[in-house]
């Protein structure tokens, strides 16, 4: 079986062991640098690139998904998911209930100019109106991480939703399936304690 692992940069040891048992090939993906309108993401190589897989009985490879302007390729998937009540609720619950999950999006010790990451997380966790209304893909760069008003908190949470979509359940995995025929494996969940 050929597998494309998606949803995180790399899998943990327990998952890797399971994949090695069932797969003939395991493919990971780099995180692409993509741009949408007035904002973008910073790409990074998959952790799988750092490992010497020579001698492995299972073929291990890393795909580099398309980078650059991605409005037409990824935008419909992102906009649909950030406005999906189930997806948004899962992200919000994970953010509220788990510091580990929240730290994937906000660096608690960082100074964001409008407060520390821990203060930003606290304000977002207390806001019960973050899921009211529809989200668009416009990003206010200067106020990317700001919790001064209800609208800015909602904008900050929207960037977290977009980041969750791009890194935890990336739309590029769908396009990679279309071109490679690889079965998509991975996970997206909130961490409940």
pLDDT in tens, 49-64: 999 999 999 999 998 8
Gap between the Cα atoms of 28 and 46, Å rounded: 7
pTM beyond 0.95, yes or no: no
Cα angle, residue 112 at apex, residues 110 and 118 outer, rounded to 5° = 55
Q: Write phi, then psi, for 127 (nearest 5 degrees).
A: -85, 115
- Give me the pLDDT at residue 191, please: 33
Residue 24, C-beta contacts closer than 8 angstroms, at least 6 positions apart: 1, 2, 58, 59
Cα angle, residue 45 at apex, residues 58 and 116 outer, rounded to 5° = 130
Low-confidence ranges of the chain (pLDDT < 50): 173-179, 184-185, 187-193
pLDDT single digits (tens) 107-124: 999 999 989 999 999 999
Find, among 180, 187, 144, the residue nearest to 63 by Cα: 180
């Amino acid at each position: 079986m050929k597998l494309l692992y998606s949803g995180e940069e790399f899998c943990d040891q327990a998952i890797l062991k399971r994949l090695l048992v069932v797969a003939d090939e395991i493919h990971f993906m780099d995180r692409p640098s993509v741009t949408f309108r007035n904002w973008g993401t910073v790409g990074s190589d998959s952790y799988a690139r750092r490992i010497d897989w020579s001698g492995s009985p299972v073929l291990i490879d890393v795909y580099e998904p398309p980078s650059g302007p991605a409005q037409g390729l990824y935008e419909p998937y992102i906009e649909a998911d950030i406005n999906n009540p189930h997806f948004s609720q899962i992200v919000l619950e994970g953010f509220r209930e788990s510091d580990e999950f929240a730290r994937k999006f906000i660096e608690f010790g960082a100074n964001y100019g409008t407060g520390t990451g821990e203060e930003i997380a606290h304000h977002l966790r207390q806001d019960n109106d973050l899921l009211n209304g529809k989200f668009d893909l416009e990003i206010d760069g200067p106020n990317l991480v700001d919790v001064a008003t209800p609208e800015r908190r909602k904008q900050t949470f929207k960037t977290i939703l977009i980041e969750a979509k791009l890194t935890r359940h990336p739309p590029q995995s769908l396009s990679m399936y279309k071109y490679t025929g690889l079965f998509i494996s991975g996970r997206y969940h909130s961490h409940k304690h």
